[in-house]
Amino acid sequence: MGRKSLKEVRQQEIILAFYKLAKKEGIENTSIAKIAKAMDVNPSLIIHYFQTKEELSYALIEFILDRYTPIFEVTNKSAKTAREILLAVIDNLFSKQWNKLFDDGLFYSCYALSFRDEKIKNRYHSLLSSLRAKLTEIIEAANQDGSLSIERPSECADLIFIILDGAYFYLSLSKDPILTKSKLALYKEKALKVLEI
């Protein structure tokens, strides 16, 4: 494994500073000057790595979307059956762990940009499709070992993500942890019904 270049390290530092600032002030209220001030660097340093705020915004969106992938990580995976792995992933999806991956307000601000920017729209679509494909693979593995009998795994995965997307948007509007916990349990139950579990 090679070392990360200084450029990659600097870019990650800038993106993280942008993330923190946008989380606090909103993506629309951030600027290269404000990011530079938060980092205590000259704005020209940021412009050296990201020539425009648009370019930096694309990098921020990549950073946010890349935070999705750990949801499919299952501990001690090799010792588990396909069904156990699927249940662990469903637990991850309908848990606080999923919700802690990123800031809802910033996620939805970036999502709103996808309606005006084709590149952002394509990246969101690609990510959401890949998440569905990964869940489809897990369902298919459970089908293959005989622990499930789902006729159309890709439709099943799609329905689970539809439940999930709606759930997290709705729950992002609530600050009541008891309501959130009970609703997540209900939505998880509905997802398990889709899986016929």
pLDDT at residue number 129: 94
| CA–CA distance, 54 with 58 (Å, rounded to integer) | 6
Of 63, 94, 111, the position where a domain reaches its end is: 63
Q: Are residues 174 and 85 in the same domain?
A: yes
Ranges of residues in the chain whose predicted pLDDT is under 50: none
Q: Are residues 53 and 91 in the same domain?
A: no
Residue 1, domain member (yes or no): no
Q: Are residues 18 and 107 in the same domain?
A: no
pLDDT at residue number 22: 93
pLDDT at residue number 99: 63
| CA–CA distance, 104 with 173 (Å, rounded to integer) | 9
**Looking at residue 181, which CATH number applies to its domain?**
1.10.357.10
Task: Kindly write down the DSSP assignment for every residue of 129-143, as one continuous string.
Answer: HHHHHHHHHHHHHHH
| CA–CA distance, 17 with 28 (Å, rounded to integer) | 15
pLDDT at residue number 68: 81
Q: What contacts 120, CB < 8 A, 6 or more positions away?
A: 58, 61, 110, 113, 114
Residue 112, domain member (yes or no): yes
Q: Which candidate, 14, 164, 20, 33, places its Cα nearest to that of 105?
A: 20
Q: Is 23 helix (H, G, I), strand (E, B) or coil?
A: helix
Residue pair 101/67 in contact by the 8 Å Cβ criterion: yes
**Looking at residue 51, which CATH number applies to its domain?**
1.10.10.60
Q: Which domain holds residue 45?
A: 6-63
Q: Are residues 56 and 71 in the same domain?
A: no
Token match 């593995």: residue?
141
pLDDT at residue number 78: 82
Positive or negative: CA dihedral 39, 45, 46, 49: negative
Which tens digits make up the pLDDT trace of 115-171?
999 999 998 899 889 999 999 999 999 999 999 999 999 999 999 999 999 998 999
Residue pair 57/46 in contact by the 8 Å Cβ criterion: no
Q: Are residues 33 and 71 in the same domain?
A: no
| CA–CA distance, 194 with 183 (Å, rounded to integer) | 17
pLDDT above 70 coverage of the chain, percent: 95
Q: Which candidate, 120, 123, 6, places its Cα nearest to that of 54?
A: 120
Widest pairwise Cα distance in the chain: 60
Q: Are residues 87 and 175 in the same domain?
A: yes
Number of structural domains found in the chain: 2
Tell me how far CA of residue 42 lies from CA of 36, 92, 132, in angstroms: 6, 41, 42
| CA–CA distance, 25 with 43 (Å, rounded to integer) | 18
Residue 158, domain member (yes or no): yes
Q: Are residues 31 and 47 in the same domain?
A: yes
